[in-house]
Amino acid sequence: MTSTQTRSRTFHLLRAGGAAAVPLVGLATLAVLAAPHVRGIGFFPVLRFAVIAPACLLVSVTVALLYPALAARVPRPRLTLSLGLVGLSLLILGGMVLGGPAGLVVAAAPAMLAVAVAVSWLVPRFVVRPRWSRVGTATLLLLGLLEAGAFVRAVSSERASPTRALTDAGSRFVTLPGGARIHYVDEGQGETLLFLHGNPAWSYQWRELIRGLRGSYRCIALDYPGFGLSEAPVGFGFTPREQSLVVEAFVEQLQLRDVTLVMQDWGGPIGLGFAGRRPELVKRMVLGSTWAWPTSTGEPRGIFSVIAGGPVGEFLQLNFNGFASFGIQNGVTRELPTDVLEAYLRPFVPLERRGIAAFYPGQITAATAYFQEVEAGLPRLADKDALLFWAHLDQGFPRRDTEHFEKIFPKHRTVELPNANHFFFEDTAEQVVAEVRAFMPAARP
């Protein structure tokens, strides 16, 4: 065989391996997503797309280069190849059992075994096929380009943003009796405002309100375990009920009394769960873009829960930090400055912390029992003064949610924000600060 023929043969084998890798990447990704696990927090970063894609390409190209030699030496090369790859996969899985974290082998086994079998079937077909149809070639090329683009996007999302301080002079840490290490901001003096954030977010979301109110009130904003800069204890499940109990323990640890709760998104069910259990500790409510009752899968918020909390949402968040980025940018009417968006997203950049943002959408419908508890406790809060914000542009929390709160809290004042979205305090910070000041008793001189 001449050198030209050798180069042509090598190119054909490389092309065959690359082409076979395209469906293999999709198969492996689907197998990882289909493996039994808790969406988001049960995902292993080692199985992310940025690892799966190049691994499948490497295996596929290597097998393509070796297959002709195997076919020339054994009578049933495909069966031999399949048995060899399955055996190698089992050996690697055995190593995971001995040296990997608990649960990794269960999560990895479907993808590894599926790829082992598929490689032994796909690669020989691509190797022995002399010519490919134009439609097939175009399809594989398009899918390959999409996967390559996704790989680049996934890798770029893992690079930490430029170093900047995420804490300021008001930042503190406290370790609760249950083991959670909680980061919180504590600024100002006077009556206590306790700010409870949503998802995907952290205490940073309240910075403008705290700046506007800390001159008259004590402003405290914490990060729940797994969010922001807080750390969860071993065995923590990250459920909304557990987070609500953390808020209760935090209030007790700091000996807070006569608290005014400021709640948005998940801050509502987490904070109102605490308030329903301990109404004697809570004096007033400030609510916006939130809810506190069960959600069915047939209503818009439930449909969002099924999609964003399912395989699609998990894939986008864990591999590209996609849900956090999309949720923040599309929840604000104005364009956030780059450094502000960066600060919002930075706690979700580490791979081991991304899953929390993918976990909570599913809890909208999965945590029905907890929402029933929260709803049952709301009558104990009916005597509390409430300030309600209705952001007209927030499709996730339409007018009927505000009306529901108006019935729960007879002593309410509702403020309409026609040009605000989900993160309404980003769109209308000055107005919200003014409304909270008018709602709160005048600060003592």
Distance CA 209, CA 311 (A): 35
Reduced to 3 states (helix: H, G, I; strand: E, B; else coil), residue 270 is helix
In degrees rounded to 5, what are phi and psi of residue 182?
Answer: -105, 125
pLDDT tens digit sequence for 239-297: 999 999 999 999 999 999 999 999 999 999 999 999 999 999 999 999 999 999 999 99
Q: In this structure, are 109 and 191 located in the same domain?
A: no
Is residue 163 domain-resident?
A: no
**Do the domain assignments include residue 317?**
yes
Structure tokens at 31: 């197998």
Of 332, 300, 291, nearest in space to 421 by CA = 332
CATH of the domain at 283: 3.40.50.1820
Nearest CA among 435, 440, 384, 437 for reference residue 414: 435
Within 209-278, strands assigned E span 218-222, 259-265
Q: Is 303 inside any structural domain? A: yes
Closest Cα partner for 290 from 188, 425, 185, 97?
425
CB-count exposure of residue 164 (10 Å: 0-12, 13-18, 19+): exposed
Q: What is the pLDDT, as a whole number, of residue 308? A: 96
Which among 155, 185, 211 is the end of a domain? 155
**Contact assessment for residue 417 and residue 389, using Cβ atoms and an 8 Å cutoff:** yes
**22 CB-near residues (< 8 Å, 6+ apart):** 140, 143, 144, 147
In the chain, how many domains are there?
2
What residue ranges of the chain have pLDDT lower than 70?
A: 1, 130, 160-169, 443-445
Residue 109 lies in a domain: yes
| Cβ atoms 332, 264 nearer than 8 A | no
Residue 148 burial (C-beta neighbours within 10 Å; 0-12, 13-18, 19+): middle
8 A C-beta contact, residue 223 and residue 185: no
Q: What are phi and psi of 261, to 5 degrees?
A: -85, 130
Per the CB < 8 A criterion, the answer to whether 262 and 183 are in contact is no
Instruction: Please tell me whether residues 321 and 407 are part of one structural domain.
Output: yes
Residue 445 lies in a domain: no
Those residues with Cβ within 8 angstroms of residue 320's Cβ, 6 or more apart along the chain or in another chain: 150, 153, 154, 157
Is 321 buried (19+), middle (13-18) or exposed (0-12) by CB count in 10 A? buried
pLDDT for res 163: 39
> For residues 349 and 161, is the Cβ–Cβ distance under 8 A?
yes
Q: Do 206 and 353 fall within a single domain?
A: yes
Sign of the alpha-carbon dihedral angle for 181, 187, 189, 192 = negative
Q: Report which residue type is found at 67.
A: Y
Q: List Cβ neighbours of 143 (8 Å cut-off, separation of 6 or more).
A: 22, 23, 26
Question: Are 286 and 434 in the same domain?
Answer: yes
Cβ atoms of 60 and 123 within 8 Å: the answer is yes
Regarding whether 283 and 256 lie in a shared domain, the answer is yes
Do 113 and 187 fall into the same domain?
Answer: no
Write down the pLDDT at residue 132: 75
For tokens 């048995």, the residue is 83
Active site residues: 265, 394, 422
Looking at the fold, whether 120 and 178 belong to one and the same domain comes out as no
Please tell me whether residues 138 and 189 are part of one structural domain. no
Whether 233 and 179 have beta carbons less than 8 Å apart is answered as yes
Asked whether residue 160 is domain-assigned, the answer is no
Dmax (CA) for the chain in angstroms is 95
* Residues 199 and 145 placed together within one structural domain of the fold: no
Which domain-ending residue is among 155, 186, 215?
Answer: 155
293 and 433 co-located in one domain: yes
Helices (H), 103-192: 104-128, 134-158
User: Quick one: 37 and 186 in the same domain?
Assistant: no
What is the Cα–Cα distance from 30 to 33, expressed in whole angstroms?
5
165 in any annotated domain: no
150 three-class SS: helix
143 is in which domain, residue-wise? 3-155
Residue 222, classed as helix, strand or coil, is strand
Strand order in the sheet with 282-290: 171-175, 181-187, 218-222, 192-196, 259-265, 282-290, 385-391, 412-417
Please indicate, yes or no, if residue 444 is contained in any of the structural domains: no
Q: Are 263 and 285 in contact (CB under 8 A)?
A: yes
| DSSP track, 277-338 | H-GGGEEEEEEEEE--S---TTSHHHHHHHHHTSHHHHHHHHHH-HHHHHHHHTT-SSPPPH
Does residue 251 sit in the same domain as residue 372? yes
